[in-house]
Amino acid sequence: MKKSFIAIILMLVLLVSLGAASAFADSSEAPGVTVIEDADSPTGYSAVFVYDSKLADTAALGLKDIASVTLYSDCMKLYSYDEQTAGAIDGAFGHLPAEYAEGLYPAGGSGATRLDVALEDIGDGLFRCSIPLSSGAFVYNYTLTDSEGNSVSRLDDPANPAARNRVTGVRDLSSIAYVPYNAAKSNTDQWADRSLELPSAGAKGTYLTTGYVGADGTTHGLAVYLPAGYDENRAEPYKVLYISHGTGGDLYGEEMRWFNEGAVCNINDNLGLDYVVVGMNNQEFATSGAGQPDWDFTKIEDDQLNYIMPFVEEHFNVSREASGRAYAGLSMGGATTSNFLMYHGDVFGYYGIWSYANTDLANYCNVEGLVKEENQAAVKANKDAKIMIAYGSWDFGMEPCKQFGEILTGLGVEYTELEVPAAHDWENWQLVYAWAAQNFLFK
């Protein structure tokens, strides 16, 4: 069953090597993004972005033509501990990429931290700019404007497109640029070398997208990473991580974001890790409409336990034991993970609560402020479960995570806590995931 299913999936759904279009080459006029060694760059590298307007469907975009192109990213500006307050990021203190120096870190995560760079028209429908970037994976998008002033934003790079779920037809949001590490010019602390986020030069796992019928009776998207050498007939099932995104504000393919923006495939490939990763789209279970932050956790838990996991366990060779399962998430996904821990503490062996947690005392505690007995029983049911709380230094999710840690401490439950130099952004979650993959998950 598993063999025939996967064979069909591999023919029907998206199979990509994430980051293939972000080449390390000498050409600086190839459409897409080309990362080059640059002696004049403060990081040792520059990313050259070339937008090919001939690849854009102007009619579908509602544009007369393409008169100008602007690249933007909310995580390319640089921030320092000397200027920022813990638990918040102020875009006014953002430094331009060309100002990179020791003690500055890429961060952002909001419109206030956004970098906009106008591309130069170099002829033949091509627009170009060059940006010095530090090590790691960087999200970027484009805004196109026509000669009448009409603009369209949130566009990925047609020469380096975002992933698409071939079953649901929904695409991810951003294109990605991958930049190597130059030890002679870059920060030297433990967070500086982010080479794990780059596409692996060695063995690669398989990334695919598919769909399942969820708790509401409709088809939802799933994204799955199978490690290199995956054997559907292996006697020992593979350990499996179920990983949730946060609120995206729309129906962009959230199940794919950890694999694309979060660089999960690259990190696992580079580390040679041997577990399956499954991403889902929990934002479809928002009370006031898909993409809103008021997630219906009861429906999400039902969907995960009674639809997603049975589907994955039927079609892939993964563990059905708590010790072989993990659940993690960012932002609202972190809140989801905290709920699983409090109410389904015996289902997973590892819980990653990152950049937010559900600290609603009406859910967890009685009127005296003490954790309800049934919640104590749930979180203590799996005495071997490992818990990791993580957040960025300038992350608005820091305080809820710390508060949730206090709840766990009150229960006498131990956990690992991690802080990284970032905000509520993908620069944060790439670091957190890489650390968790090396030091926490299935360890």
- pLDDT given for residue 78 in this prediction: 98
* Side chain identity at residue 184, one-letter code: A
140 phi/psi in degrees, rounded to 5: -155, 155
- Tens-place pLDDT, residues 62-105: 999 999 999 999 999 999 999 999 999 999 999 999 999 999 99
Instruction: For the chain, give the percent of residues with pLDDT over 90.
Output: 75
Domain residue extents for the chain: 19-186, 196-439
Q: With 90 as the cut, is the pLDDT of residue 138 above it?
A: yes
Exposed, middle or buried: residue 26 (CB in 10 Å: 0-12, 13-18, 19+)? exposed
- Tens-place pLDDT, residues 2-47: 544 443 344 333 333 344 444 444 456 799 999 999 999 999 999 9
The answer as to CATH 2.60.40.10 being correct for domain 19-186 is yes
- pLDDT given for residue 117 in this prediction: 98
Pick the CATH number of 196-439 from 3.40.50.300, 2.40.30.10, 3.40.50.1820, 3.40.50.800: 3.40.50.1820
Average of per-residue pLDDT across 180-194: 94
Exposed, middle or buried: residue 323 (CB in 10 Å: 0-12, 13-18, 19+)? middle
Torsion (CA) 29, 49, 162, 393 in degrees, nearest 10: 150
Which tokens belong to 332? 């609202």
Alpha carbon 139 to its chain's center: 10
6, 314 contact by CB (below 8 A) = no
Neighbours of 190 (CB within 10 A): 10
Determine if residue 136 is left, alpha or beta; phi over 0 gives left, psi from -120 to 50 gives alpha, anything else beta.
left
What pLDDT band is residue 370 in, cutting at 50, 70 and 90? low
